[in-house]
């Protein structure tokens, strides 16, 4: 009898312990989060006011956990959002401080989004590369400095790496090329310098490579031609030199190519004009030669901007056989001759053709 009661009590206690164990998040994770919070100041919205109580998986703003283990899986803090907390404050977020290395103690983290807080500075904690389950790092729109961790390539599951719009410096580490799951690389508008990693083309899953607004130099690496899924290549506003590779026009799904504001030279390869590329900006380089006479029904451009180069000769007549050219800019070159007629041209303004040597015909003066 007494033994039976004892067992009942033990079972009840165990059940209670289990239940509360299920309810609270692991204390170590909670402590890591509180340490992370302590390094940040968010004066206007009070998002961290919700970070209290023992269960960090429940109603802690921006924190979510794995269902079974109750370990923290996502930190999702965006400074620009339409959530009620932002609507009530009638402003976007602002946060200062830094990203504490305590974040690396959240071993099951799969995504870290700390985006658009404008004032978060300091460096990316090096230890972040030891988080084996990380799929997403999104730190866009802060004041983060320092370099991209040299061993970033350890993050084998990483699909998104976005550190755009910060003040990061140094090179893009060669180990980036080991991120075999990477689909989206965005380092726009930082202070990165040095070459585009030669082996970037090993990133077989990559669909967007956004590298604009840095100080990257050297050529466009040949290996990129192997990135079968690449749809969007943006290296504008760097110091990229050498010729525009011919293979760009032969890539399977490439549709947006922004190479504007670099130091590219040589002629425009024929392949670009009858490819799948629909958004092409080559403005402000040192391109020379004629505009290739290679337009056809496959040429479909929402944007074709070749302005501010050293292009010579006539506008090729084949351009009237393009299926569509929404926005054309050939201004500030040395083109000469009669502007072709045809549907792709009917809607264009003189500004598309100004500042050339001797272009004439509609919409400019008659020849």
Ligand X SMILES: *[C@@H]1O[C@H](CO)[C@@H](O)[C@H](O)[C@H]1NC(C)=O
- Nearest distance, CB of residue 48 and ligand X, angstroms: 39
Looking at the Cβ atoms of 162 and 283, the one nearer to ligand X is 283
- Nearest distance, CB of residue 18 and ligand X, angstroms: 60
Per the omega criterion (within 30 degrees of 0), is the bond before 363 cis? Answer: yes
Looking at the Cβ atoms of 177 and 220, the one nearer to ligand X is 220
User: How many residues does the structure list for the chain?
Assistant: 367
> Which of 87, 56, 83 has the alpha carbon at shortest distance from 70?
56
CB 193 within 8 Å of CB 217: yes
Looking at the Cβ atoms of 60 and 300, the one nearer to ligand X is 300
Beta bridge partner(s), residue 248: none
CA–CA gap between residue 41 and residue 34 (Å, rounded): 12
- Nearest distance, CB of residue 302 and ligand X, angstroms: 9
Q: Are strands 184-186 and 169-170 parallel, antiparallel or unpaired?
A: unpaired
Looking at the Cβ atoms of 175 and 236, the one nearer to ligand X is 236
Looking at the Cβ atoms of 110 and 309, the one nearer to ligand X is 309
CB 328 within 8 Å of CB 352: yes
- Nearest distance, CB of residue 238 and ligand X, angstroms: 11
With H, G, I as helix, E, B as strand and everything else as coil, classify residue 337: strand
Q: Which helix (H) or strand (E) holds 12?
A: helix 2-23
Contact residues toward ligand X (CB under 6 A) are 236, 260-261, 281, 283-284, 303, 305, 327
- Nearest distance, CB of residue 263 and ligand X, angstroms: 13
User: Which residue number is nearest to ligand X in terms of Cβ?
Assistant: 260
């Amino acid at each position: 009898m007494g033994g039976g009661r004892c067992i009942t009590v033990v079972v009840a206690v165990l059940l209670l312990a289990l239940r509360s164990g299920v309810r609270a998040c692991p204390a170590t994770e909670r402590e890591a989060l509180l340490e992370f919070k302590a390094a940040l100041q968010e004066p206007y919205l009070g998002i961290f006011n919700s970070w209290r109580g023992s269960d960090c998986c429940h109603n802690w703003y921006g924190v979510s956990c794995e269902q079974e283990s109750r370990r923290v899986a996502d930190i999702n803090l965006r400074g620009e959002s339409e959530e009620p907390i932002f609507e009530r404050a009638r402003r976007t977020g602002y946060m200062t401080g830094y990203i504490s290395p305590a974040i690396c103690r959240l071993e099951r983290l799969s995504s870290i989004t700390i985006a658009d807080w404008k004032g978060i500075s300091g460096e990316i904690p090096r230890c972040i590369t030891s988080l084996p389950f990380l799929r997403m790092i999104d730190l866009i729109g802060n004041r983060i400095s320092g370099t991209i961790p040299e061993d970033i390539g350890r993050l084998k599951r990483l699909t998104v790496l976005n550190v755009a719009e910060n003040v990061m410096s140094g090179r893009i580490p060669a180990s980036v090329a080991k991120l075999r799951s990477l689909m989206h690389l965005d380092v726009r508008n930082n202070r990165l310098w040095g070459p585009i990693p030669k082996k970037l083309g090993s990133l077989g899953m990559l669909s967007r490579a956004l590298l604009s607004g840095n100080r990257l130099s050297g050529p466009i690496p040949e290996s990129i031609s192997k990135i079968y899924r690449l749809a969007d290549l943006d290296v504008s506003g760097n110091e990229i030199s050498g010729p525009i590779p011919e293979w760009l026009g032969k890539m399977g799904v490439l549709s947006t190519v922004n190479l504007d504001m670099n130091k590219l030279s040589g002629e425009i390869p024929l392949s670009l004009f009858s490819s799948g590329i629909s958004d092409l900006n080559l403005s402000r380089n040192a391109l020379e030669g004629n505009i290739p006479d290679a337009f056809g029904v496959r040429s479909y451009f929402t944007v074709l901007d070749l302005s501010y180069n050293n292009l010579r000769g006539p506008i090729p007549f084949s351009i009237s056989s393009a299926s569509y050219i929404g926005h054309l800019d050939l201004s500030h070159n040395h083109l000469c001759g009669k502007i072709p007629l045809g549907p792709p041209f009917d809607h264009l303004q003189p500004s598309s053709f100004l500042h050339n040597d001797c272009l004439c015909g509609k919409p400019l003066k008659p020849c």
